[in-house]
Structure 1
Amino acid sequence: MFLKKITLLKEQVPSYHQYPFSIPSIKSLDELEINVPITFLVGENGSGKSTLLEAVADKCEFNTAGGGRNNYYDTDASDAALGDFIRLSWMPKVTNGFFLRAESFHQFASHVDEVGARAAYGGQSLHAQSHGESFLSLFVNRFKGNAIYLLDEPEAALSPQRQLSFLKIMYELAAEKNSQFIIASHSPILLGCPGAEIFSFDHGKIQKTAYEDTDHYQITKYFLQHREKFLHDILSSEEENT
C-alpha cells in the first residue's frame, strides 16, 4: 500500500459553480481514505470518477495522456484541472507506476514505437496486436510491482475471458509484488476481485459500496436471469416514447 488518502483542498477551490468542482461527487469530497491495495471507482458517465483519477495521475507526475513519469508526449493529454486542488497522503511515497486511459491508448502505442521501446512490451509493436492483446501485453510486460497503477476503464478492449486474465494479473501483483491499483471501471467481472473496495460516485457523493449493491452487478444479474422480460420491458418502453 502506498497511497493512503486523497484530500480536496477546499480552501483553495475558486468556485463550486465551475467545472470540475461543480460535479456533485467532487463538490462533496473532503477526504477519500484508501485501505486496500485494489480500489475501484464506479458511477455513471460524468459522475467524476475519471476526473478524480486523472487528478491523482497528475499529482503522481504521470503523463495524463497515458503512461508513466518517463513517457513524454502531449497528444490528447488531459488538463487534469482538479490536480492542483488535491493532496495525496503516502506511506511510503512511490514514484513508479502507470496511468492508463483506454481512450488514448492508441497514441501511447505510437509513442512506444517512436521512442523505440518495443522491447519493453514483449518485442512487438502494440499496433501489431489486437486491441485486447496490446492491453494484456502492457499489463504483462510493463506492470512489475512496487508501483501504483491508475487505470481508466481497462476493460474497454478486453473480452470477458481476458478481463479474467487481467484480474488474475492484478490480484497477483497486489498480493505478491507490492502493487496498488486504483481503477475506474464499469466491469462487473473486474469489480468482483477478492479483497477490493468499491467507491460509488453516484447520488452526489463518494461512498463505499458492496459489490452486490452496485448497479453493474444488479443489472447484469437481472439481465442474465430475466433476459426476455428485461428486453421486452425496455423495448416496449422505447416504442411508447417514439
Structure 2
Amino acid sequence: MYIRSLNITTDRVQGFPYNTEAVRYAKHINLDQPVTFIVGDNGVGKSSLIEAIAYKLRLARINNTLGFQEESFEPIAELAEDLELDMIRDGRGFFFRSEDFGDYVIKGNIFDSFKSQNPTYQNMMFNYGQNLASFSHGEAFLHIITQRVKRQGIYIFDEPESALSPLHQLSLIYLIREHLKKERSQFIIATHSPILMAMPDALIYEVTKNGMQATPLQEVEHYIITKTFLNNPKAYFRED
C-alpha cells in the first residue's frame, strides 16, 4: 500500500472541478485495500479526482514526454494543491488514461518516445517496440499494461474498459491479481464496468449526488442496472 487515505482540504464548490461530486465529497476517504474502484455517472468528477492524485504524485504516463503540461491539466494542478494524501511510503508508478492510449498509438509515438524516457523506465518502454498496430485495440492495451505493471508501485487507471472487450477486461483482472500475488502494489481505478468492479476483495466507492460512499458491489447502481437488464432485456423495451 502507498496511500492510506485522501482528503480534499477545501470546501470550495464553485468552478470546475470543485463543482463535481467526487471532489466535493472526497473527505477523509480511506484507501485501505490494494485495489480501489471509484464509480459513478459521467460528470461526477471521477477522472478529475484520480488525475489530481496522479498529478500530485507525478506518476509516469504512457508517453513520458507529455508530463502534465497540457492545458487540460491546469484545473487539476490547482485541485492537487488542495489534495491531501496520507502516504505510507513513496514509490514509482503509472497513470493510464484511455485518451492517452489512443493518442499514443494513433500518432505513432511508439519509437519517438524512447529517446526521451527516464532511464528508470527505458527498458520497460523499449518493450513497446513490438508493432502495436499488429494487435487489436484491446491486445495493444494489455501489452502495454503488462510492460508497465511489473514492479511494486502505485497504478492509477481512468476508465480502462474503454479499450477492452469483456474478455479483455477479465484478462486485466487476472493481470492485476497475479501482480498482487508478487508485489505490494496499489491500484486506484475509475470505471463504469461492472466486470472490473467485481474483482474479488476490491474496495468500491460510489459517487452520487448525495455523497461518496464505500458500497458493496451488489448495491452499486451500474451493477444493479446491468444485472437487471441482462436478466430480462425485454422488460426494458415493452411497448404500451
Same fold (TM over 0.5): yes
The answer as to 2:27 corresponding to 1:27 is: no
Q: Does the 8 Å contact 1:38/1:174 carry over to 2?
A: no
Alignment partner, residue 87 of structure 1:
84
Alignment partner, residue 159 of structure 2:
153
Q: What amino acid is the match of 2:202? A: A
Q: What amino acid is the match of 1:72? A: T
- Provide the identity percentage: 33
Pick from 74, 81, 94: which aligns with 1:98? Answer: 94
SS at match of 2:19: coil
CA distance in 1, matches of 2:194, 2:131: 30
CA distance in 2, matches of 1:41, 1:212: 15
Q: What amino acid is the match of 1:18? A: G
Shift of the 29–77 alpha-carbon distance from structure 1 to 2, 3 Å rule, reads closer
Specify every segment of 5 or more residues in structure 1 that has no aligned partner in the other structure, as ranges.
Answer: 237-242
SS at match of 1:106: helix
Alignment partner, residue 73 of structure 2:
78
The answer as to 2:58 corresponding to 1:61 is: yes
CA distance in 2, matches of 1:24, 1:106: 27
Specify every segment of 5 or more residues in structure 2 that has no aligned partner in the other structure, as ranges.
Answer: 115-121
Q: After the TM superposition, which residues 130-141 of structure 1 pair with which residues of structure 2 at under 5 Å, given as runs?
A: 130-141=136-147
SS at match of 2:94: strand
SS at match of 1:112: coil
Deviations 1:173-221 (A, max 9, x none): 1232222100001111110001100001112321100000112211111
CA distance in 2, matches of 1:121, 1:77: 29
Alignment partner, residue 108 of structure 1:
104
Shift of the 108–228 alpha-carbon distance from structure 1 to 2, 3 Å rule, reads same
Q: TM-score, normalised by structure 2?
A: 0.86
Deviations 1:116-166 (A, max 9, x none): 368633531334432111111011111113111100011111111111111
Pick from 38, 45, 51: which aligns with 1:41? Answer: 38
Alignment partner, residue 199 of structure 1:
205
Aligned length: 226
CA distance in 2, matches of 1:4, 1:82: 19
CA distance in 1, matches of 2:142, 2:111: 17
Q: Quick check: 78-87 or 112-121, which moved more?
A: 112-121
